[in-house]
């Protein structure tokens, strides 16, 4: 099992999305969180690998997993010992805005 590091901005993005969905329909925010948790758990356990991100060079090791039910992707750096989540990125908002987060 890999360690998990989540960028503070990614954590803020997820919190905002959870609040927005919960305001739309009770329980929808919890459903989004459950989907994200399942993906992150699968990544940490090595059960999921994700795919490359078109906006980023392949040698940078940035990958993503797209959620099935919601228009979001978990964007992460794929390291052997650490899963480093850069963003919980909405599909239609500012593509690639999170790229500078990987350099920390």
- The pLDDT of 36-46, averaged and rounded, is 95
Local structure of 91: helix, strand or coil: coil
Establish if 17 belongs to a structural domain: yes
39: containing domain:
3-92
Q: What is the pLDDT of residues 16-31, one digit of tens each?
A: 999 999 999 999 999 9
* pTM: predicted TM-score of the whole model, two decimal places: 0.85
Establish if 14 belongs to a structural domain: yes
- How many domains are contained in the chain? 1
Q: Decide if pLDDT at 96 tops 60.
A: no
Establish if 10 belongs to a structural domain: yes
89 contacts 72 by C-beta, under 8 angstroms? yes
Establish if 50 belongs to a structural domain: yes
Establish if 25 belongs to a structural domain: yes
7-23 in b/e burial notation, b at 16+ Cβ within 10 A?
beebeebbeebbeebbe
Establish if 104 belongs to a structural domain: no
Establish if 22 belongs to a structural domain: yes
73 φ, ψ to 5°? -135, 145
Q: What is the CATH number of the domain that holds 40?
A: 3.30.2310.20
Q: Decide if pLDDT at 62 tops 50.
A: yes
Establish if 97 belongs to a structural domain: no
Q: How far apart are the first and last CA of the chain?
A: 23
């Amino acid at each position: 099992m890999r360690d998990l590091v989540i960028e503070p901005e990614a954590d803020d993005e997820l919190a905002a999305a959870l609040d927005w969905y919960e305001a739309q329909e009770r329980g929808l925010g919890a459903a989004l969180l459950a989907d994200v948790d399942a993906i992150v758990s699968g990544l940490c356990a090595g059960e999921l690998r994700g795919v490359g991100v078109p906006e980023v060079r392949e040698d940078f090791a940035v990958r993503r997993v797209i959620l099935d039910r919601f228009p979001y992707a978990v964007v992460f750096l794929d390291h052997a010992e650490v899963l480093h989540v850069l963003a919980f990125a909405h599909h239609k908002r500012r593509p690639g805005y999170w790229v500078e987060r990987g350099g920390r």
